[in-house]
Amino acid sequence: MKILVPVKRVIDYNVKVRVKADNTGVELANVKMSMNPFDEIAVEEALRIKEAGNAEEIIVVSIGPAQAQETLRTALAMGADRAILVKTDDLVEPLAVAKILKAIVAEETPELVILGKQAIDDDCNQTGQMLAALLEWPQGTFASEVKLGEGTVNVTREVDGGLETVKLTLPAVVTADLRLNEPRYASLPNIMKAKRKPLDTKEPSDYGVDTARRLTTLKVEEPAKRASGIIVENIAELVTKLRDEAGVI
């Protein structure tokens, strides 16, 4: 079978994000961009399934600007087989992403789509679920373990109360949580090989999808700064402060 893994180019997890002076968004100029960490986990899981002999091909796809090619090359360097860039400079919302992915699924006929549970830039946590709904496929979200069976996949989910295991009939959509696996490093020989792997470039219109935004961002602001702590001299002072200033006792 084939596995499709969508990957998104986002601000690196370790970058301290700065809001633009005019409050229209966050500063992206000269900021380090990397693959969304949850997508990296999704790629790793697909690779492990392939290495276990349960898949033949891994196709990675990214919807974004020309530079998203680098993100795809990273996935190829990890071991994915080929890549599709759906090039657009628009900010594409989860529903439009899901529609494009649906069209790609129709073309590529994978039996499994593994996505990250959310992207760390907009934190939407919607694409996987929307895609499953559009495809009318079963979904296993927030996966911490994925086990393939005969025409099925068992997905252990991280839910509020603990762990829940669901059995899905393939084809299915799975979204990866943090504890699913620890992604591998891209090895030097594989980085070199990745340069020769196929990378197709498409546009949203190729899939008949309109990426116009349906949401309007009113304003982007920094979260309120936390006031710095104080050091109290003794327990009596602590009690006084808790009672008189914090009003909690």
Partner 1 sequence: MTINPIHLEKLKKILGSEGWIDDQTDMPSFLREPRDKYQGNTPLILMPDSTEKTAEIVRYCAQNKIPLVPQGGNSGLVGGAIPTGEILLSLKRLKAIRQQDARNLTITVEAGCILSHIQELAQEMNCLFPLSLAAEGSCMIGGNISTNAGGVNVLHYGNMRNLVLGLEVVLPNGETWHGLGGLRKDNTGYDLKQLFIGAEGSLGIITAATLKLSPHPHEKQTAFVAVPDPDAAVNLLSIARNISGDCLTAFEIIPRLGIDMVTDNIPGSRDPMTQTYDWYILLEGTSSLSRDLLDLEAVMERILSTGLDDGLILDGVIAKNITESNNLWQLRENLSEAQKFEGGSIKHDISVPISAIPAFLIEAGMAVETSIPGARPVPFGHLGDGNLHYNISQPKHMARQAFLDQWESLNQSVHDVVDKFNGSFSAEHGIGRMKTDDMLRYKSKVEMAMMTKIKHTLDPHNIMNPGVIVRK
- Residues at the interface with partner 1 (CB under 8 A): 12-15, 29-30, 32, 34-35, 37, 40, 70, 74, 77-78, 182, 185-189, 191-192
Q: Name the minimum Å distance from CB 217 to partner 1.
A: 25
Query: How far apart, in whole angstroms, are the C-alpha atoms of residue 98 and residue 233?
Result: 57
Q: Based on CB atoms, which residue is closest to partner 1, 41 or 209?
A: 41
Nearer to partner 1, 15 or 134 (CB): 15
Q: Please calculate the CA angle 128-133-136 and round it to the nearest 5 degrees.
A: 120
63/159 Cα distance (integer angstroms) = 29
ω into 65 cis (within 30 of 0): no
What length is written for the chain? 249
Element (H, E) at 151: none
Residue 37 CB, shortest distance to partner 1, in Å, is 7
Whichever of 15 and 199 has its CB closer to partner 1, that residue is 15
Please, what is the minimum distance in Å from the beta carbon of residue 231 to partner 1? Answer: 14
Q: Closest separation between CB of residue 72 and partner 1, Å?
A: 12
CB 69 within 8 A of CB 86: no
Q: Which is nearer to partner 1, 188 or 236 (CB)?
A: 188
Distance CA 190, CA 188 (A): 5
Minimum separation from the CB atom of position 112 to partner 1 (A): 23
Tokens 């370790």, located at residue: 14
Nearer to partner 1, 192 or 238 (CB): 192
